[in-house]
Amino acid sequence: MRHCLALLALLLSLPLSAAQLQLELGDGTRQFDSATLLNHPQARDISIEQDVAYKRPMHYRAVPLAALLPGIKADDHLQAVALDGFAAEMPAGPLLQAGPAQAWLAVEDPAKPWPALGNGKPGAGPFYLVWTNPQSSGIRPEQWPFQIATIRRLAPVEQRFPALLPAPELPATDPVRQGFALFQQNCLVCHRLNGAGDAQFGPDLNVPHNPTEYFQPAFLRQYIRDPQSLRQWPQARMPGFAESVLSEQELDALLAYLAHMAGRKP
């Protein structure tokens, strides 16, 4: 019994393991552990007035994300991959700017873990992309990926996944093209389309059937605005898209893209 108590005391005295962040920026792979980032020269304590993941004010130890992206240019394309396979597509420009909206990598202290995101759910750590003053640049909820494991530079979505592209003859001003941009920002983080995409969360939105083919238009809009108002189940993970996030005009364009792609299956 004495030996068991001594072993338990030893285990409790050991430091908790630091998480690893992997950066794949085209010039090799670099890794940072949470202890290093918590003590980064540019790390500071920040306050987030309305945290997207926790839906309340939060305080973090964080590093300006731009400080971790040497060599990245504004026209580069980045992807943040979470521990559970969530893949957020991110143009680099907003991530590099120092204001008015600024991107930060919040770092969870292993000795002071962040709270759970809900009953039976983990927290947002070990690394979480948060924004100060997000409303000044129209930052969307999908631009707040959490549980990040890897950040990597990739070719733009339209180059990696041509199966997502609308018909080339559409004019640049066609709402379908705006819908394609909105699909990348709001849907591609969880869904694939025509088998194209990196996400592993939700179902493919065109194969075998497109939601515009089996939802009545009013119910499809209701489902996008508030999924739980139409289908309720405990494991539901799709967020609702309020008008403050996706305006009526933007929703029209997104639906136009989906309806257009129903005719462009592989």
Q: How far apart are CA 78 and CA 90, in angstroms?
A: 5
Q: How far from 7 is each of 12, 20, 73, CA to CA, in Å? A: 9, 27, 51
Q: How far from 134 is each of 105, 138, 151, 207, CA to CA, in Å? A: 14, 6, 20, 35
Per-residue pLDDT tens over the stretch 181-206: 999 888 988 899 999 988 777 899 99
Residue 54: pLDDT band with limits 50, 70, 90: very high
Domains identified in the chain and CATH numbers: 17-154 (3.90.420.10), 158-261 (2.60.40.420)
pLDDT at res. 46: 98
The answer for residues whose C-beta is within 8 angstroms of residue 47's C-beta and 6 or more apart is: 57, 58, 59
Question: pTM of the predicted model, to two decimals?
Answer: 0.77
Per-residue pLDDT tens over the stretch 82-103: 998 788 888 999 999 998 999 9
- Is pLDDT of 13 > 50? no
Report yes or no: 186 and 241 within 8 Å, Cβ to Cβ.
yes
Per-residue pLDDT tens over the stretch 152-190: 999 988 899 999 999 999 999 999 999 999 998 889 888
Report yes or no: 240 and 227 within 8 Å, Cβ to Cβ.
yes
